[in-house]
Structure 1
Amino acid sequence: MKKRLFSTMTALAVTLSMVSTPFIPYSNQAVVAADAVTKPTYKNRTEIPDQYKWKLEHIYATKAAWEADVKKVEDLANAFTKHQGKLQTAAALKKALDDYSNLFRLHDKAYVYAIMSFDVNSGNPDLQALSDRAEKMTVLVSSKTSWLSPEITKIPDQKMAAFLKSASLAPYKYYLNNVLRTKAHTLSPELESTLASIKPLADAPESTWKMLYKDIKFPTVKDENGKDIQITRANFVSLLDNKNPEVRKAVFQAFYGTMAQYQDTFAQTIGAEVKGNNLLAKTRKYNSALEAALTPNDVPVEVYDQLITSVNKGLPQLHRYMELKKRVLNMKELHMYDIYIPMTEGNDSYIPYEQAQQMVLDGLQPLGEEYVNVLKEAFKGGWVDVYSTDDKRTGAYQWGAYDTHPYVLLNYQGTNDDVFTIAHELGHAMQSYYTNKKQPYISSNYPIFTAEIASTLNEHLLFKSMYKNAKTKAEKMYLLNQYLENFRTTLFRQTQFAEFEKAIHDREQKGESLNAAAVKQIYLDINKKYYGPAVVSDEEIAMEWSRVQHFYYGYYVYQYSTSFAASAALAKQVLDEGKPAVDRIRTNFLEAGNSDSPIAIMKRAGVDMSTSAPIDQTIELFEETLNELETLLNEK
């Protein structure tokens, strides 16, 4: 969950899935006649045609309307304290929770409007002020409501048991059980209020990182024709797809060499984040920041640990894949800047956005006509912000509020990876769409643990559809290679990130320094372990952690890996069973929101994430896919 949200409030309906690694490229068969299409570039937002910008006016038609709701939120927050000390009956508790829900429901709407406005135009001082105003509103709301959880935990057990049997409190049952489950970690109302009021300080590491990363200017390098290429945050990964190894090397060294000039500042920001997480965990009497991060979402720490253990057992298969890539590419040395290069040729022509839309719609047909029709509305109805500018937030995410349609932010570059990013983010959007239709506000906010299952389910289905329709050996090899890349970048890479995140938190908890040299060495050692002897872990890769915003979200990235495994299982069910599986997944998963624990929700949907079986089975699927590719490569 995005860390700008605080633990004492009902979590806002937001899924931020920054795309820091490429997803599965689309089949070369589907990319036709795109060579003549000119890739659009825009210097600023005013140059972008309206059909490629999300319509935030669907939330507020005018700034005055937004201001009016902000004022209303502030009034409701100040009035909320009238419930303090009065939760003596089920009716009183229900009234407080109704007001709480209504307050945050309106808060969400005002908050996401301000932040999304800023995210696409961060150089605009008026929007910076709007964002700041929204953050201050959030701090006020947090401080005025922070007493609620501590007071609920003080209700005698016998009385609370009776409350939970009350029909009037039925919509709040899971919420109340969550509060009670974290009872041992809830502080006094005074301390909760203090923590809420200093939230901007807790957010400072990420805020500083964002501004530093935005302000860094990267150099140009020469392409294979001697022309200058301007490196940016948005195009860095796509430039590593260049067929010329010297260009890849130059881009890689220039980018990370520039980042290394600020290594001490980056180490300070990540160090401050880790210290804050560990301090808050200790204050709340958790054994670790990991436990503190997972407990509110009702995910056992064992899920995190068994992910790392299972993936580590599967690393020989990743090493085998890297050995195969090195051999097929006929490289004496395979460097970190070479690993994005496919083993087989595909079409790397620019894919127009309209064509990408149709590719996604075609690939997600197995999820049913209703699902696809909503996707069509997303494309034409102002849900998506498509193209990048210098002052637009990097990556991609889905967000929105309970009373808005979902919104998707892209930085579309026209690559095959971008097509899958569209499918990924629309998976989040569809979960929001179905959940908000089915659940009351208080249980509408699904955790990231299940959110990333919805998004990667779309990716698996898109690949399966393309592979089924592949007509040539060359196309099959291309698709298999790219599917293996998705395993590498999601299952293995995100677990690598998760292992790094745990390592730096453990180091700080022991009282050891997180200076730049230490953080770089930890990252480099883990990178070497994951990629194995076939890959040269260039010294520049030791700075990769400095560009990963997810490290400021508090044990976030592991959910990409667990979700990839769960969605692989669900995709198989959809393709094997058809409509019964689609209906089961929609009813028990996409519509479930936060109405139960994520483990229970997924078990009803058909996957048991309380065991290591889904991870182990996904490693087996990776091995099977690798075997299939090797068989095709060895055919005469």
Structure 2
Amino acid sequence: MSETQVLKERDEMDPRYQWDLTPMYHDDAAWEADFATLDDQVQAMTAFAGTLKDAVSIGAYLDAGTDLSRKLSNLYCYASLRRSEDTRAEAGQSMYARITAKYVQAMAAISFAEPEILSLPEETLQEIVRDEQLADHKFTMENLLRQKPHTLSAPEEKLLATFGEALGAPSEIADNLQDADLVFDSVQDSAGNTVEVTGSNYIMLQMSPDRTLRENAFVSFYKGYRQHINTFASAYAGAVKGATAEAAVRHYESSRAMSMAGENIPGEVYDNLIAAVRKHMPAMYRYVALRKKILGLKELHYYDVYAPLVGEVKVRYTYAQAQQMVLEAVKPLGKDYCNLVRKAFAERWIDVYPNKGKSGGAYSSGTYDSNPYILTNFTGTLDSVSTIAHEMGHSMHTWHSNHHQPPQYADYTLFVAEVASTVNENLLIEQLLQKEQEPQMRLYLLNQYLENFKGTVYRQTMFAEFEKEAHGMAERGEALSPAALNGLYKCLVEEYFGPELVVDDEVQYEWARIPHFYRPFYVYKYATGYSTAVALSEAILKEGEPAVRRYREFLSMGGSAYPLDELRHAGVDLATPEPVEAALGKFERILEDAEKTFAKL
């Protein structure tokens, strides 16, 4: 399919470029049959209540819980994938809504278990952890004991579980306001044409070479947010207060400590990240100055930060070419890795092209019992190729974890989730840069690299600072008013991007459009993950086999150890500032290359 063709209905598309979900469920009827058995399986789990007193009973419960988790995962994943195929279709919507509701019910039904286990005497718990009959769940039990001071009684845990949907209401309110109710004024471009502004096309408009269009879209977009800023502030304040209240109830010193405790990440990792990025802010100021110089502007405004630096790049790739580019990029990871990527391409793990109603964007999703599937909306751009490399990294991580770990340890944590994807992305751009000497195309590639750093390290760290301060304000009893949130955000933008950037008044409302803020203390993981990926990809290209071996072992660890320990195994210690410092050193070298390349134009 060419990107110039009109979107087709899904049943009109070539099935060779659609994912094959039959290894998970043969069809929707098979999913329905499995769904029908879910209540009985959840009910069987509740029969363990009051019996969890020794290694045998706890082991039986954990085995049953693993089986239930696998079933829930299969049912949820299939429904989610089917919904993504065509968001208008009733079948996928219905399956997704039903399994989501069942998941919440199941979590509430089994919420008795952890507090019941942790109510046992400390000496008994230590004996149970050491018992060989629980060897398959030893790390699970050790992790559970670590969280004992923050686990409530069984009735309290059940009460909190039943409030799951209610505590998610602020996020739903913000999502609905953005997706359904927020309307933006149409604008004119430099030729006088009327252009619609929407939440989905805004970033694309900000990447337009037409500065008049960028500015008008920017003003229109944030006018919409300004008109609803009180509602956004109330929704966000509700989310923050919900998190801080739960942290207090669970005896954590802060909502940040609670959010990081699940993965056993110390607060120093967060603080080291912010300190390292702030230390390297002059490099970002240099990049902003270079952007201003290349664009030939007297003033660089916020609506110029995504503008293309070298005009439109006309290069387009077929899907077959994209496959070869990805395979070439991952060659340093070894023959086995490349063969696995070929398998993904050949066995239809990927849903390639857009169709009417298909979910936008891209993701990787799978279960212990399925292939790790990839959704993309391939249009032939270099960004589309990079997206395939990125999502293939996720899928390779999932495949290695699933094939080297038992089901209870297969799921890796969110802290390491973006590492493999970004390693692949970096290997792709490094491979392209190695071959490209033509100044304009090379500058385009270097700018892509710099933008990745800007968006994933600098910008996400700025978001992390915003979250840290917003939650701190709530914990100190300060009001999260629109003025307070707007002022905090605008100040951070000024600090992170420096004196060469004109920070327009509209910028203060940008925080309201960041959905990740409703998942507290998540965004910093993008920055640490990217920094880790830079270190790993550099080591793979420089050291070769020893680094590749460590990396493949890391991919195979799943959730069998704490994420910092897994990354140490790969050769990266995020308990120190060094990986972030090294990554930002790489940013400075790329920036220097871009400055020299621009001088040749």
TM range (shorter): over 0.9
Does 2:54 match 1:89? yes
Q: Against the structure 1 CA distance between its residues 97 and 597, is the aligned structure 2 distance closer, same or farther, given a 3 Å change threshold?
A: same
Match of 2:489 in 1: 523
Q: Which residue of 2 aligns with 1:317?
A: 283
Is the contact between residue 307 and residue 615 of structure 1 (CA under 8 Å) also seen in structure 2? yes
1:282 aligns with 2:248: yes
Q: Is the 8 A contact 2:458 2:527 kept in 1?
A: yes
Q: What's 1:463 paired with? A: 429
- The equivalent residue for 2:119 is 154
> By how many angstroms is 1:217 displaced?
4.8
Q: How many Å separate the matches in 1 of 2:546 and 2:67? A: 36
Cα offsets for 1:105-145 (capped at 9, x unmatched):
11111122223333444444554332221122112211121
Aligned amino acid, residue 392 of structure 2: L
The correspondence of residues 466-481 of structure 1 with structure 2, limited to 5 A, is 466-481=432-447
**AA at the equivalent of 1:548:** I
Tell me if structure 2 keeps the 8 A contact 1:77–1:140: no
Aligned to 1:435: 401
Q: Deviations over 1:260-288 (max 9, x none)?
A: 33333332332222121111111111111
1:551 pairs with 2:517:
yes
Q: Select 1:608's aligned residue among 546, 566, 573.
A: 573
The answer for the alignment partner of 1:300 in structure 2 is 266
The answer for the alignment partner of 1:339 in structure 2 is 305
* Equivalent residues of 2:439, 2:600 under 8 A apart: no
Query: Which range moves more in the overlay, 316-325 or 121-130?
Result: 121-130
Deviations 1:219-270 (A, max 9, x none): 5444455544444433332332221211221222233333333333332332
Describe the shift of the 1:236–1:129 C-alpha distance in structure 2 as closer, same or farther (beyond 3 A): same
Decide whether the 8 Å contact of 2:53 with 2:117 is kept in 1. no
The answer to whether residue 476 in structure 2 is matched with residue 510 in structure 1 is yes
- TM-superposed deviation, 1:46: 5.1
Alignment of 1:533-612 (within 5 A): 533-587=499-553, 589-612=554-577
| Superposition deviation, residue 48 in structure 1 | 4.8
Which 10-residue stretch deviates more, 284-293 or 200-209? 200-209
Farther off after superposition, 378-387 or 622-631: 378-387
Per the TM alignment, residue 350 of structure 1 is displaced from its structure 2 partner at its CA by 4.9
Partner of residue 340 from structure 2, selected from 362, 374, 379: 374
Q: Give 1:80-479 correspondences, 5 Å limit.
A: 80-215=45-180, 216-218=182-184, 220-345=186-311, 347-388=313-354, 392-479=358-445
When structure 1 is superposed on structure 2, of 42-51 and 311-320 the one drifting more is 42-51
Matches of 2:55 and 2:25 in 1, distance apart?
36
User: Taking CA–CA contacts closer than 8 Å with sequence separation of 6 or more, which of the two structures ends up with the larger relative contact order?
Assistant: 1
Q: Deviations over 1:416-463 (max 9, x none)?
A: 333322222221111011101111111111111111111111121112
1:541 partner amino acid: V
Question: Structure 2 stretches of 5 or more lacking a match?
Answer: none
| Offset of residue 177 of structure 1 | 1.0
Residue deviations 1:324-354 (CA, integer Å, cap 9, x gap)? 2212322111111211234445624554444
Give the Cα–Cα distance (whole angstroms) in 1 for the partners of residues 126 and 539 of structure 2. 39
Instruction: Say if 1:241 and 1:340, in contact at 8 Å, map to a contact too.
Output: yes
Whole-angstrom CA distance in 2 between matches of 1:411 and 1:309 = 37
* Structure-1 separation of matches of 2:233 and 2:325: 41
CA distance in 1, matches of 2:228, 2:26: 41
Does structure 1 residue 66 correspond to structure 2 residue 31?
Answer: yes
User: Counterpart of 2:570 in structure 1: which amino acid?
Assistant: A
Quickly say closer, same or farther: Cα 1:256–1:42, change in 2 above 3 A: farther
Secondary structure, counterpart of 2:283 in structure 1: helix
SS of the residue corresponding to residue 417 of structure 2 reads helix
Equivalent pair of 1:273/1:552 in contact (CA under 8 Å): yes
Residue 557 of structure 1 aligns to which amino acid in structure 2?
Answer: V
Q: Report the Cα distance in structure 2 between the residues aligned to 1:93 and 1:290, rounded to whole angstroms.
A: 31
Q: How far did 1:65 drift?
A: 2.1
Task: Indicate how the Cα distance of structure 1 residues 274 and 125 shifts in structure 2: closer, same or farther if over 3 A, else same.
Answer: farther
Instruction: State the Cα distance separating 1:392 from its structure 2 match.
Output: 4.8
Q: 1:335 to 1:181 in 2, by over 3 A?
A: same
Q: Find the aligned partners of 2:69 and 2:103 in 1 and give their Cα distance.
A: 9
Report the secondary structure of 2:47's partner residue: helix
Which has the higher mean CA deviation after the structures are superposed, 258-267 or 198-207?
Answer: 258-267
TM-superposed CA distance for 1:496, in Å, is 1.1
Corresponding letter in the other structure for 2:68: L
Matched to 2:574, the amino acid is: M
Percent of aligned pairs with the same amino acid: 37
The residue aligned with 2:594 is 629
Aligned length: 600
In 2, Cα distance between equivalents of 1:88 and 1:551: 40
TM-score (norm 1): 0.88
CA contact (8 A) 1:74 1:140 kept: no
Deviations 1:173-210 (A, max 9, x none): 11111111111000001111111122111222223333
Distance 1:51 1:250 in 2: 42
Shift of 1:514: 2.5
CA contact (8 A) 1:234 1:395 kept: no
In 1, are the aligned partners of 2:439 and 2:598 still within 8 Å (CA)? no
Structure 1 SS opposite 2:492 = helix
Residue 395 of structure 1 contacts residue 410 of structure 1 at CA under 8 Å; is this kept in 2?
yes
Deviation at 1:470, TM superposition (A): 1.7
The Cα of 1:322 is off from its aligned counterpart by: 0.6
Query: CA separation in 1, counterparts of 2:499 and 2:114?
Result: 51
- Post-superposition CA distance 1:272-322 (Å, at most 9, x none): 221211111111111111111110111111111111111111111101211
TM-score, length-scaled by structure 2: 0.93
Q: Which letter does structure 2 place at the counterpart of 1:630? A: E
| Worse-superposed segment, 590-599 or 422-431 | 422-431
* 8 Å contact from structure 1 (residues 39, 414) kept in 2: no
Q: 1:272 & 1:633 partners in 2: Cα distance?
A: 48
* AA in 1 matched with 2:297: M
Deviation readout 1:587-636 (Å, 9 max, x if unpaired): 1x100011011111111111111111111111222122222332344469
- Tell me, in whole angstroms, the C-alpha distance in 2 between the residues paired with 1:413 and 1:214: 24
Q: Distance in 2 between matches of 1:374 and 1:99?
A: 32
Distance 1:44 1:271, change over 3 A: farther
Question: For 1:41 and 1:273, how far apart are their aligned partners in 2?
Answer: 41
Q: Report the Cα distance in structure 2 between the residues aligned to 1:512 and 1:226, rounded to whole angstroms.
A: 47
Q: 1:342 to 1:396 in 2, by over 3 A?
A: same
CA distance 1:316–1:512, shift in 2 (3 Å): same
Pick from 39, 43, 47: which aligns with 1:78?
43
Is the CA contact (8 Å cut-off) linking 1:147 and 1:193 kept in structure 2? yes
Match of 1:491 in 2: 457
Q: Secondary structure at the match of 2:280?
A: helix
For the Cα contact (< 8 Å) 1:115–1:134, is it kept in 2? no
Distance 1:122 1:474, change over 3 A: closer
Cα separation, 2, equivalents of 1:152 and 1:69: 30
Alignment root-mean-square deviation, CA: 2.4
